[in-house]
Amino acid sequence: MKPSFLFTSEAVTDGHPDRLCDSISDAVVDRFLQKDPYSRIIAESALSKNVLFLAARFASSARIDIPDVARAVLGESGYKVQDFDAANCSVLTSLIEMPAAMRAQADERDLSPDELDRFTAHSPVTVFGYACTQTPELMPLPISLANRLARALIAARKQKKVSGLSPDCTVQVGVEYHEGNPARIAGITIIAGSVASKPSDPAELRANLIHEVITPMFAGDAIKPDAASEIFINPQGAFPKSGPGSHSGMTGRKTAADTYGAYARHSGSALSGKDPSRVDRVGVYMARYAAKNVVAAGLAEECEVQLSYAIGHAGPISIQVQTFGTGAIDDQAIGERLKSVFDFRLGAIIRDFNLRHLPSLHQSGFYRNLPVQGHIGRSSTTVPWELTDKAERLR
């Protein structure tokens, strides 16, 4: 990597149509697993003005009112009825019910190590996990800041600190790197949607966002905006319309924001809307878990773990590690340690992360909170793949 460069990552708030589609799809996954933890379910959503299309394929003993689940998420999104009417919008569904025999036939927690081999990948996929020492949560700084800023905007709207703010906002944070390390904030861009009857005064909106959102968020940070940092608020003018009434959304279109903000590689597959039997989702979590523990163990300042799965195989057919010249030992040795400490088989991932049962342990669901709160990079211990409990064994 070149020693000095500028890198920018993007994040969106909870009411962005793409993010709403992710949340709806994951809410459907939660509801199925809460009723029947052995369900298989894949759900995808597309959203536009007063229309939601939801396609789902499932095998389950549960009976779920899927449109009702979707309307509940839309109703909590914060839009006024005139902007999006969750109760009366059209919800079109395309549902395929698979035979009950396609449900999971056993709880992975009750199986022996050899019996876990019966859980195999349904599709070929290569997934990536990444970690680095740029932030306490071991994430690249640009996406960490972008996600924090998006959450700060959500809080400012809900707490009415910034009037007229829409649930649909987009942020970008640019970080300047010197000698490969984050050195300063080069720029911040906020596209702030409005739900006010008339657009906010641009100067007033800028002042409010800086005072109520940007400045408090950076208050305790070592790297924060300086006099030379550029701050852009709606640089192309006010957005009198926002949300599904203005632009469409679809599940899986924010995979960069879901992972590493494009600073590191990701598989490109949607994470939301898939039950734990889909390795293109849970393999991403496992790869992150492995990479984060490598960095937490002090074996590298930067680590990427690549896992490749093939149809019919219980575990990855290849495991690759890159530390980009920052490793305390060579990459091959780190890879051997990973194989001895972690079980990368699909059944073991489901078992060790308790992925079938987490929705029942959280009253509001588990998966539906990931798109907004963060699939990757959360410091909360309620997300098992963000733990660093294997670091000592790797050392």
Query: What are the boundaries of each domain within the chain?
Result: 5-12+140-243, 125-134+278-394
The span from the CA of 286 to the CA of 280, in Å, is 10
The span from the CA of 24 to the CA of 368, in Å, is 7
Specify whether the CB–CB gap between 192 and 231 falls below 8 A: no
Among residues 64, 13, 57, 152, which one has the least CA distance to residue 359? 64
Distance from first CA to last CA of the chain, Å, rounded? 26
Specify whether the CB–CB gap between 344 and 288 falls below 8 A: no
The pLDDT, as a whole number, for residue 242 is 81
What DSSP letter does each residue of 251-269 carry, written as one string? TTS-HHHHTTTTSS----S
The pLDDT, as a whole number, for residue 164 is 87
How many of the other CB atoms lie within 10 Å of CB of 373? 15
The pLDDT, as a whole number, for residue 255 is 94
- Is the backbone of residue 390 left (phi > 0), alpha (psi -120 to 50) or beta? alpha
The two three-digit tokens of residue 135, written as one number: 């932030």
Q: What phi, psi does 42 have (nearest 5°)? A: -130, 125
- The C-alpha angle 365, 366, 370, rounded to 5 degrees, equals 125
Fold of the CATH domain 125-134+278-394:
GMP Synthetase; Chain A, domain 3 (3.30.300)
- pTM score, two decimals? 0.95
The pLDDT, as a whole number, for residue 240 is 64
Query: At what angle are helices 17-35 and 66-75 packed, to 10 degrees?
Result: 130
Burial 181-216 (b: 16+ CB within 10 A, else e): ebebbbbbbbbbbbbeeeebeeeebbebbbebbbee
The pLDDT, as a whole number, for residue 2 is 64
**Would strands 318-322 and 302-309 be described as parallel, antiparallel, or unpaired?**
antiparallel
The pLDDT, as a whole number, for residue 15 is 95
Spans of the chain below 70 pLDDT: 1-2, 197, 199, 239-240, 380-381
The pLDDT, as a whole number, for residue 43 is 98
Radius of gyration of the chain (CA): 21
The span from the CA of 89 to the CA of 104, in Å, is 34
The span from the CA of 349 to the CA of 354, in Å, is 8
The pLDDT, as a whole number, for residue 1 is 55
The pLDDT, as a whole number, for residue 99 is 93
The pLDDT, as a whole number, for residue 3 is 79
Q: Find out if CATH 2.90.10.10 is the number for domain 5-12+140-243.
A: no
* Domains 5-12+140-243 and 125-134+278-394 belong to one CATH topology: yes
Sign of torsion over alpha carbons 306, 349, 310, 280: negative
